[in-house]
Amino acid sequence: MSDPRAIKTPSRIRVRVDARSISAVNDRGNEIRYAISPSAPGFNPLELLSASLGICTAINLRKELGAVTGNGTALPFEIVVECIKAPDPPSRVEQLDIAVRLPGGLAEIAADDIVRRAEAACTIANTLHASARVITRLQEDSTN
């Protein structure tokens, strides 16, 4: 049976590299700068992974909390994602810990259920749980 939800096609990301910087730009022209050194502005790849997971979870949690309040508006909350690298090769993430701080007033059982539903609806979390294939290929330069 097919999923009745509309499938959103993700934007393609173009990573640009020059002598002084690395940045990622989406099809809409939005840019994220990579922090080349620890003191440089920007995010490193593991921070971007953590941010993607946290934001995706927050989007779904906001929807869930809005439904619970009955007026479609969620109260403020916070998500903290900790990225833990594996100690042995190859270089990879071993675990991502998500801590959710919800507003007071929700029963613990209800809060736990809301958080689980939000995570289950998160594309990034589902992809990480399923271990998506990564396919890398060399593409000829089309600027010649």
pTM of the model: 0.83
Q: Is residue 144 part of a domain?
A: no
Q: Is residue 137 part of a domain?
A: no
Q: Is residue 139 part of a domain?
A: no
User: What's the number of domains the chain is made of?
Assistant: 2
pLDDT digits (tens, 9 = 90+) for 32-91: 989 887 787 888 899 999 999 999 999 999 998 888 767 767 778 999 999 999 999 999
25 & 59 share domain = no
First-residue to last-residue Cα distance in the chain: 46
Q: Is 117 exposed, middle or buried (0-12, 13-18, 19+ CB in 10 A)?
A: middle
Question: CA-CA distance, 128 to 143, in Å (whole number)?
Answer: 35
67 & 118 share domain = yes
38 & 89 share domain = no
